[in-house]
Structure 1
């Protein structure tokens, strides 16, 4: 009689416990029901069963180019901070020669004398100072323009002076490149036609894998972020760097999150630049054979022009066409892949729980019987 009472109590408790045992997450039905309840409450959550190619969203377009696209300036254009070397060539009476124009016998010296002035740095206002000429504006001029200005300024002091101007240090016609590159620092643009791929190569190349890197470009007050793979061999492979740009390569791998009844609950980086849902399911280990429901796999994503519309895509892997549709469904950064919990998992968990509860009693009984024997 006591045994029957105990079994009845266990059976009754089993029916009650099925709804209270812990699980790895909601079932597919619970996901759908709660999303519909949220819609009734005013939250606009779209539920999209992926049953046909029309349910598969288009592949996301690369980020649009958002920076001013200027024509390349002359490669020898002078900018603020440049350091100029000025050499003056004179024949006859030399203004900068540092001595008499006559030789030791008192004759006239017809040789050409060259005098290199101390280096001149272009100030913030674009000016330099030349003896006997004064302050002259050089910002935005080419080296040839500056040579003409200095020569014209010296004509009243020297006999047919010739002037050569070169740059000792180049600041204005350069960019700053940093981050995940082998040689960060200031990089001079030799032709002003170097592409972004060129300047990365000139900086020694990038570190890491291109699929995990983002290119941050600052041009004046504007800023854009591009995937490095799109810059190296994609949409922006011919975009040029411009003097004054600041280029930074950042380690920002694409990731998706895996939750629910699967072998792995974690954030997983993309194995390549473009993945589909089938590849993501495989990377996550698929539905757990003891807990997961292959009919209840969901992908959570914000959609719409502003990426503010909550959307839930439902994949039923018990239907053959879904496998082909999932291969056409492109994964995106920050997607959440959820594996629904199977309802049939509850009785199994109950049996496991009962076994854990009664295992000490069975063990104690066996020990007692052995002692009595």
Structure 2
């Protein structure tokens, strides 16, 4: 019996040092030097507390809008160009005039700016249109009709500005090439013209390609953060893609799995509930961690001491730490929203290693007891 106890003790010392775990323990993460981690490019740790939860909740991501600053002025050119379709309306003072017809006393002439930049108007001939405003073209046509028509009055209406277009494709109801009106057109305006997204907005991402720049954001972010609803420029390409959001749960939770978002927003409290909550016999309630790549601007606000070291960075690997032993932690978990591809990890409590060891040696103790009974 004494020999058995010695072997068990030795096995215990070895087993505790070599037992597998689900991930780092809470103490292993919290003892990291934040500044050294940021400098070496590892990660930065932020403890969620009442002092910073409001800053995290109120942060407005601008990464999408920033992609297009200084690239394309947005909006459609006000001058006419090749391909624009027009209606030229001409009135005369005499009912017997060249363009008088029926009761209206006018003629409507459809025109298209040809490849050389001209339109054709009867009795006025070819008139230069490309590079002119609508008013400039109106004056030019009216001037050419003087002496041929009776006191002509000209009105020019723009039907489609096909010289300035943008393309919308992907998971939209009506993909196609859309002309841009003279007024400013924003990204959501064009998505609406294309019939909107086929799937839920919180499961749809928008990619805008302009020249050699490209940016991607959730469709709902264009609504929640209006500054991301950028002006459209001619030749922009817009792609809508169905991309459901998910988060992963690991560690001392009842279900380690990949979890899809079922609603527009999911809080950390709801995420933990979805995977069955913490395992009572293993979890460290003060070791709830969330891993994500966070905007550097937000990290600089949360950790001002890292502002200089994060200069020029766009995203930073960040670990949020939350303790649930304090009731305040539950309230904060209700206000912390999950994002796509977040990783949620709950560390083991240090005493959980003893439980693992007891599970390993339990068969050995059982077998020894059986042998003892047989021997006796």
Which TM-score bucket, shorter chain as reference? 0.5 to 0.7
Alignment of 1:28-43 (within 5 A): 28-33=26-31, 35-36=32-33, 39=36, 43=40
Which of 77, 80, 84 is 1:78 aligned to? 80
Which of 317, 331, 346 is 1:324 aligned to? 331
What TM-score, normalized to structure 2? 0.67
Residue 83 of structure 1 contacts residue 122 of structure 1 at CA under 8 Å; is this kept in 2? no
Question: Residue by residue, what CA displacement relative to the aligned partner does 1:60-116 show, whole Å, maximum 9, x if unpaired?
Answer: 213274456656666xx633333567799999999xxxxxxxxxxxxxxxxx99897
Distance 1:335-1:113 versus aligned 2 partners, 3 A rule = closer
Tell me, in whole angstroms, the C-alpha distance in 1 between the residues paired with 2:314 and 2:38. 21
Tell me, in whole angstroms, the C-alpha distance in 1 between the residues paired with 2:28 and 2:173. 51
SS at match of 2:169: strand
- CA apart distance, 1:140: 4.0
Distance 1:332-1:238 versus aligned 2 partners, 3 A rule = closer
Residue matched to 2:50 = 53
Residue matched to 1:210 = 201
Question: Residue by residue, what CA displacement relative to the aligned partner does 1:159-213 show, whole Å, maximum 9, x if unpaired?
Answer: 6697887778652254322222111112345673665444333322212121222
Question: Residue by residue, what CA displacement relative to the aligned partner does 1:262-319 show, whole Å, maximum 9, x if unpaired?
Answer: 2343444445444443333333433223432212112334463235555433322112
Residue 257 of structure 1 contacts residue 335 of structure 1 at CA under 8 Å; is this kept in 2? yes
SS at match of 2:56: coil
Distance 1:356-1:182 versus aligned 2 partners, 3 A rule = farther
Is the counterpart of residue 229 in structure 1 residue 220 in structure 2?
A: yes
SS at match of 1:297: strand
Residue 161 of structure 2 contacts residue 180 of structure 2 at CA under 8 Å; is this kept in 1? no
Which of 14, 17, 29 is 1:16 aligned to? 14
Tell me, in whole angstroms, the C-alpha distance in 2 between the residues paired with 1:42 and 1:223. 28
- CA apart distance, 1:237: 9.2
Tell me, in whole angstroms, the C-alpha distance in 1 between the residues paired with 2:108 and 2:44. 78
Tell me, in whole angstroms, the C-alpha distance in 2 between the residues paired with 1:116 and 1:79. 18
Residue matched to 2:306 = none
SS at match of 1:349: helix
Is the counterpart of residue 344 in structure 1 residue 351 in structure 2?
A: yes
Tell me, in whole angstroms, the C-alpha distance in 2 between the residues paired with 1:312 and 1:113. 72
Residue 197 of structure 1 contacts residue 231 of structure 1 at CA under 8 Å; is this kept in 2? yes
Moved more, 141-150 or 259-268: 141-150
Residue 168 of structure 2 contacts residue 194 of structure 2 at CA under 8 Å; is this kept in 1? yes
Tell me, in whole angstroms, the C-alpha distance in 2 between the residues paired with 1:93 and 1:41. 81
Distance 1:221-1:151 versus aligned 2 partners, 3 A rule = farther
Cα RMSD between the aligned structures?
4.7
What TM-score, normalized to structure 1? 0.68
Tell me, in whole angstroms, the C-alpha distance in 1 between the residues paired with 2:238 and 2:39. 44
Query: What are structure 1's unaligned runs of at least 5 residues?
Result: 95-111
Distance 1:341-1:128 versus aligned 2 partners, 3 A rule = same
Tell me, in whole angstroms, the C-alpha distance in 2 between the residues paired with 1:227 and 1:168. 33
Residue matched to 2:296 = 304
Which of 268, 285, 288 is 1:294 aligned to? 285
Q: Could you say which structure has the larger radius of gyration? A: 1
Residue 258 of structure 1 contacts residue 265 of structure 1 at CA under 8 Å; is this kept in 2? yes
SS at match of 2:163: coil
Which of 270, 274, 281 is 2:272 aligned to? 281
